[in-house]
């Protein structure tokens, strides 16, 4: 097997004076063209992990351990160098496209800015590039959408624009943080299909609390709980034979369709109770 694109070793992230551990000594690899799902509930540390890779943690976060991307150490990388990676080699697709997009700037210009920032040589032709990308992510009228402000777009169109922006520079690694949580089922299905198609040839991490969503895009999954990875493996195997009680609870509680209508639904608490929470 070729070297992994991303290699995380003993990553620990603490916040504040009390040194509370948000992420507690986790290790994982993401191979070339591989997509890893990270599943967990709010507060499990999954988003903090993604932000750490992206170098977007606030100043008061303390990061130890190692994050190697393409052989380069990212922990402790100066902001000046991080800025060259971010949006070019590593890109992120956020949950809420309305807050991830600048409300005062037309969508086409925002996408173009990402390209222009990293490819100063490419002075002409950026607009064409943007329109091509909008078309690729399934926007029907790219020119009209490029000249619109984010609030004039539907939720699905905004998420498509965000995907175009993330992929425009052909990043080696794409981080997706709950990219479909704010969408309805119909649009969610379309966006998942689009991601599945467009992430081809990229390495990716897909963070979500919903296993059914992760399974649409990833083959391998890591389950995070209280800052630790408690289980990791092929997603179909984990769904079929979950080992950790928390994972068992997560799967049982997601199978609403297997419970007789009106009967009590199994919950995670039936399988696992947090030690100190």
Site residues (CB under 8 A) for other proteins? 41-42, 154-155, 183-189, 209-213, 215-216, 239, 249-251, 253-257, 259, 261-262, 264-269
The secondary structure of 237-261 as a DSSP string is HHHHS--SHHHHHHHHHH-GGGSPT
Tokens of 150: 């984010």
Distance CA 175, CA 93 (A): 6
Return the number of the residue (201 or 262) whose C-beta is nearest other proteins. Answer: 262
Return the number of the residue (147 or 184) whose C-beta is nearest other proteins. Answer: 184
Nearest distance from C-beta of residue 44 to other proteins, angstroms:
9
Distance CA 9, CA 89 (A): 20
Distance CA 82, CA 159 (A): 25
DSSP letter, residue 117: H
Return the number of the residue (38 or 167) whose C-beta is nearest other proteins. Answer: 38
Distance CA 31, CA 130 (A): 29
Return the number of the residue (98 or 116) whose C-beta is nearest other proteins. Answer: 98
Q: Minimal CA–CA distance to 177: which of 42, 58, 46?
A: 46
Nearest distance from C-beta of residue 232 to other proteins, angstroms:
18
C-alpha torsion sign, points 265, 219, 91, 106: negative
Return the number of the residue (84 or 267) whose C-beta is nearest other proteins. Answer: 267
Task: Identify any residues that bridge with 26 across adjacent strands, giving them in sequence order.
Answer: 11
Nearest distance from C-beta of residue 271 to other proteins, angstroms:
10
Nearest distance from C-beta of residue 235 to other proteins, angstroms:
10
Nearest distance from C-beta of residue 221 to other proteins, angstroms:
12
DSSP letter, residue 47: H
Nearest distance from C-beta of residue 184 to other proteins, angstroms:
4
Return the number of the residue (105 or 269) whose C-beta is nearest other proteins. Answer: 269
């Amino acid at each position: 097997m070729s070297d992994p694109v991303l290699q995380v070793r003993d990553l620990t992230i603490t916040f504040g004076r009390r040194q509370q551990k948000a992420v507690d000594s986790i290790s994982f690899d993401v191979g070339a063209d591989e997509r890893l799902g990270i599943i967990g509930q709010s507060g499990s540390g999954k988003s903090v992990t993604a932000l750490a890779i992206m170098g977007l943690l606030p100043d008061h976060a303390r990061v130890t351990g190692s994050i190697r991307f393409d052989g380069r150490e990212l922990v402790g990388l100066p902001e000046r160098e991080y800025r060259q990676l971010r949006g070019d080699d590593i890109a992120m697709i956020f949950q809420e496209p309305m807050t991830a997009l600048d409300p005062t700037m037309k969508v086409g210009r925002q996408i173009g800015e990402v390209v222009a920032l990293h490819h100063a040589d490419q002075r002409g032709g950026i607009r064409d590039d943007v329109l091509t990308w909008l078309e690729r992510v399934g926007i029907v009228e790219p020119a009209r959408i490029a000249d619109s402000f984010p609030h004039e777009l539907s939720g699905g169109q905004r998420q498509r624009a965000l995907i175009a922006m993330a992929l425009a520079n052909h990043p080696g690694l794409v981080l997706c943080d709950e990219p479909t949580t704010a969408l309805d089922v119909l649009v969610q299905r379309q966006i998942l299909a689009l991601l599945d198609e467009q992430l081809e040839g990229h390495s990716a991490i897909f963070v979500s609390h919903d296993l059914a969503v992760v399974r649409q895009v990833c083959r391998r999954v890591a389950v995070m709980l209280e800052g630790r990875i408690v289980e990791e493996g092929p997603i179909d195997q984990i769904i079929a034979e979950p080992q950790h009680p928390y994972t068992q609870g997560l799967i049982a509680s997601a199978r609403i369709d297997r419970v007789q209508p009106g009967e009590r639904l199994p919950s995670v608490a039936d399988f696992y109770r947090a030690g100190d929470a």
